[in-house]
Amino acid sequence: MGKAIYEKKNRIAYVTLNRPDALNALDDEMNDELWAIWRDFNDDPSVDVAILTGAGKAFCAGADLKTFIPKWEHANMLDARRNAARGIGGGITRGQHRMTKPIIAAERLIRWGETRVFTSRPRSPIAGPTRERRKRW
């Protein structure tokens, strides 16, 4: 099973970040899988919306620093510039603003400021738990 699970059902695409042992932290392999998933989602007329979630107890811890830091430890500005278009995290956000279909982040452990990063058109959350309900999620 991949590091990102992609399923389509009833015109909905379900995308699950699948590295629960690493709190779904993004590494290069997951990043590449997400690029392929979003390309298919964008081009497939049989799906109208995507729901993005994470397996296990966390939505996404960000970049996997065990693989990210060693790769960039001795990088220069030219290396960073070459990587900017598809760099780590690009599978979730970079370039995805060009999609016309909505992507909904189904987060369990919400920090409200991050919700906007993982949603597209509209770029603000349309629904979410109240402060009291957040504790039960």
CATH number at residue 50: 3.90.226.10
d(CA 53, CA 107): 6
Can you tell me the mean pLDDT for 19-40?
90
Q: What pLDDT is attached to residue 59? A: 86
Q: What pLDDT is attached to residue 60? A: 86
- pLDDT band, very low/low/confident/very high, at 42 (cuts 50, 70, 90): very high
> Strands, DSSP E only, in the chain?
4-9, 12-17, 49-54, 103-105
Q: What pLDDT is attached to residue 118? A: 46
* Residue 10, Cβ density class (10 Å: 0-12 exposed, 13-18 middle, ≥19 buried): exposed
Evaluate if residue 12 carries a pLDDT over 90: yes
Q: Nearest 5°: phi and psi at 59? A: -75, -65
**31 contacts 91 by C-beta, under 8 angstroms:** yes
Total tally of structural domains belonging to the chain? 1
Q: What pLDDT is attached to residue 77? A: 83
Q: Taking all residues of the chain, what is their mean pLDDT, rounded to a whole number? A: 77
Tens of pLDDT, residue by residue over 52-111, are 999 998 888 888 888 888 877 888 888 877 776 666 655 566 666 677 888 888 876 545
Q: What is the greatest pairwise CA distance in the chain?
A: 47
d(CA 56, CA 53): 10
**81 contacts 23 by C-beta, under 8 angstroms:** no
d(CA 47, CA 30): 22
Evaluate if residue 46 carries a pLDDT over 60: yes
d(CA 34, CA 28): 10
Domain residues for 15? 4-136
Evaluate if residue 1 carries a pLDDT over 90: no
**Overall pTM surpassing 0.75 (yes/no):** no
